[in-house]
Structure 1
Amino acid sequence: MTTIQRQHFGEHQGQAVSLFTLTNVNGMRLCVTDYGCIITQLWVPDRHGQTEDIVLGFDELASYQAGHPFFGAIAGRCANRIAGGRFSIDGDEHILATNELTTGQHLHGGLRGFDKYIWQAQPDGDGIIFSRTSADGEEGYPGNLRVCHRIGLTENNVMTLSFSAETDKPTLVNLVNHSYYNLLGHTHLIHNQQLKIEADFITPVDEVTMLPTGEIRRVAGTAFDFRNARRLGDAMLHRPAQDFDMNYVLKPGQGELHPAATLICPQSGRVMEVHTSLPGVQFYNAFKLSNKVWNGKAGHRYQAFSGLCLETQAFPDSIHHAHFGNVVLRPGEKYHSRTEHRFSTVA
């Protein structure tokens, strides 16, 4: 069975911060802290049974507190971008921080999003339930939002990410885990890994604001076509700055979960299959990491293409595009989503 250990990880604003280590029978190991629900380590066996840490991050709490590009963290109350930091519900306008300086948009919950709080933490079988109440008006969002985020590790090498939330006023909710993955290990680059995304369409963006135009466009004949597994280094040659930061419209499936993406590392044999209840996945290949110096675990410097994100989500800026789907949560309703990362190996 999965075991859970808890240790002191530091302090934040006078409160103790904990690090939880979940280990299953196969030696797979997941470390997560109650500061920002951040996944700090994920040790996964290769085809020979040797484990490697496959997520980007830091060894110490101080580096997370100093600011980072959401390594392993929760993004919320509403992940991704909101145009101009403004939205209206039932005729009431709400103003948010425009905290993404390069685009002038609201991003991932604002100046102090969910990633910058200590959460209540309770072990729960093969996982941890993290919970907190986001107060009415926090970062400009209406309503007291009660949030639970369960992170688990099963005996058959599945990492589970579940979110639930309830509110006392109409508000926006789009909760995301923002881990950066590299199946060869966090000290390598992603070029030789292969990616498949279960999507025929994307929601293209304006290249300056990075906001969706509202169009839903076919991937066929474009650089964004990952309907069949492609070597990432080859795909990146078809983008002007080797850049990918795009929401994919996932094919609907049967039951609660449908396939979102598969990442394959031929060198190690590791495979990660992502399944989700959500309608979209944001593929970001970390092309911006070289814009700043990020000295990560064991002092390794993370540069562009050191990892990739597969953020299962509602579509970006959905509040301004009715055909994108509903991201408004109302009193009496319950938000729920689930994503699984299923790990295996190939010969």
Structure 2
Amino acid sequence: MKISESVVGRHDGQTIVAHTIENAAGMQVTSLNYGCTITRIVVPDKRGNLENVVLGFDTVEEYQANSAYFGSVIGRHAGRIAGGCFELDGITYELAKNNNGNHLHGGLKGFDQKVWDVEVVQEKDSVSLCYRYESKEGEEGYPGNVRVSVTYTVTNANEILLSYEGISDARTVLNMTNHTYFNLSGDLKRTALDHTLKIKSDHFLELNDSLIPTGELIHVDHTVFDFRDGRKIQEGVVSEHPQNVLVGNGYDHPFMLRSNQSEPITLYDEESGRLLVVETNEPAVVLYTGTQLGNDYDIRGRKSEKYLGLCLETQGVPDAIHHSHFPSTVIEKDQVYCSETKWSFKIK
């Protein structure tokens, strides 16, 4: 296992560093301490060609100028919170409203725009990047001082383990995820429309016109939301299902995951032979197919466009604070929040 480090910029007077980890198989993962942002994941295709399989930029300035959350950690709370406020213990907390009067992905300056402390931990068959940040009480409107950590561990088995921890000195909400956009074609040769996705999920969450869960769980039977046996992303794009049309012809929906299932999520690109297996201890995954990606900027020489990549955001349910029947994203004072996800890259 090899690791290299370089200074790539500054933000709010703090130094931004990039670390690149390379394993024995040639897999490379590059990450910034700015937003714990994963900028590159290079893995082989079925012919042995090593290519990048995520969307990202080459400069810090591009990340600062664009708000698509490419590869970044999202927090304090992933997804939308209706009305940009919530009540906890009889107190109403007003959050930053950065999405049509609602709160999205932690607010105006969420975890994705923070410079984190970073420590490198090397083992025989793995290297970990351990990021730490303290979110002060009142940041973006949230209660409690919260100490959070994010650890990315790259192994010789072409795995990336994502571990999130947090602890607060007051009752609050916490729901973190990673917003990496995957495109397994390699170096953005094609869009993700022909990718085949499997999700072991019987229900997805209905969204309202603001793309916030209504509280209704809809069974996937006889819909293009049934990914249990695999389905190409293209099918949701051409679908006339009102929920597909609502989000811009595609998907931006939470799916409830079955518990204790092996390989609950897989993404496959037949032409390259690349297979991504996603496992998690979270109750849900938000499938976002890049329906809001504009074409007004370039991504490493390729014009950005809808469906250029897709996100598999393992997390608690967005807006859970307003729906008592959803798994809670509230954490108690001094309770340790723990979330784990593993990405395994394989050839099929």
Report the TM-score when normalising by structure 2. Answer: 0.94
Please tell me the residue identity of whatever aligns with 1:276.
Answer: T
Out of 246, 250, 253, the residue aligned to residue 246 of structure 1 is 253
**Distance across 1 between alignment mates of 2:99 and 2:297:** 18
1:295 maps to 2:298: yes
Partner of 1:115: 112
Identify the range of structure 1 (168-177 vs 325-334) with the bigger mean alpha-carbon deviation: 325-334
Partner of 2:17: 18
Partner of 1:181: 182
Alignment of 1:1-347 (within 5 A): 2-101=1-100, 104-125=101-122, 126-187=127-188, 188-206=190-208, 208-238=209-239, 239-240=244-245, 241-253=248-260, 259-290=263-294, 292-297=295-300, 299-346=301-348
SS across alignment from 2:213: coil
Contact kept? 2:97, 2:104, Cα under 8 Å: yes
Structure 1 unaligned spans of 5+: none
Contact kept? 2:224, 2:235, Cα under 8 Å: no
Please tell me the residue identity of whatever aligns with 1:201.
Answer: H
**Distance across 2 between alignment mates of 1:269 and 1:259:** 17
Q: Percent identity?
A: 38
SS across alignment from 1:216: strand
Contact kept? 1:260, 1:275, Cα under 8 Å: yes
SS across alignment from 1:124: strand
Contact kept? 2:96, 2:108, Cα under 8 Å: yes
Deviation, structure 1 residue 236: 2.2
**Distance across 1 between alignment mates of 2:163 and 2:318:** 20
Deviation, structure 1 residue 68: 2.1
Task: Provide Cα deviations, 1:47-98, integer angstroms capped at 9, x if missing partner.
Answer: 1211110110111000111132100001100110101011111111100011
Structure 2 unaligned spans of 5+: none
Please tell me the residue identity of whatever aligns with 2:297.
Answer: W
Contact kept? 1:260, 1:281, Cα under 8 Å: no
**Distance across 1 between alignment mates of 2:56 and 2:267:** 19
**Distance across 2 between alignment mates of 1:97 and 1:332:** 25
Deviation, structure 1 residue 186: 4.2
Deviation, structure 1 residue 100: 1.0
Task: Give RMSD over aligned pairs.
Answer: 1.2
**Distance across 1 between alignment mates of 2:170 and 2:187:** 41
**Distance across 1 between alignment mates of 2:279 and 2:206:** 23
**Distance across 2 between alignment mates of 1:200 and 1:180:** 24
SS across alignment from 1:143: coil
**Distance across 2 between alignment mates of 1:332 and 1:40:** 33
**Distance across 1 between alignment mates of 2:218 and 2:29:** 37
SS across alignment from 1:322: coil
Contact kept? 1:172, 1:328, Cα under 8 Å: yes
**Distance across 1 between alignment mates of 2:15 and 2:298:** 24
Deviation, structure 1 residue 11: 1.2
Please tell me the residue identity of whatever aligns with 1:316.
Answer: P
Deviation, structure 1 residue 259: 3.4
Contact kept? 2:196, 2:232, Cα under 8 Å: yes
Contact kept? 1:186, 1:307, Cα under 8 Å: no
Please tell me the residue identity of whatever aligns with 1:115.
Answer: D
**Distance across 2 between alignment mates of 1:130 and 1:186:** 27
Count of aligned pairs: 337
SS across alignment from 2:221: coil
Please tell me the residue identity of whatever aligns with 1:67.
Answer: N
Deviation, structure 1 residue 261: 1.2
SS across alignment from 2:203: strand
Contact kept? 2:54, 2:182, Cα under 8 Å: yes
Please tell me the residue identity of whatever aligns with 1:293.
Answer: D
Contact kept? 2:203, 2:220, Cα under 8 Å: yes
**Distance across 1 between alignment mates of 2:315 and 2:297:** 26
**Distance across 2 between alignment mates of 1:223 and 1:186:** 28
Contact kept? 1:17, 1:34, Cα under 8 Å: yes
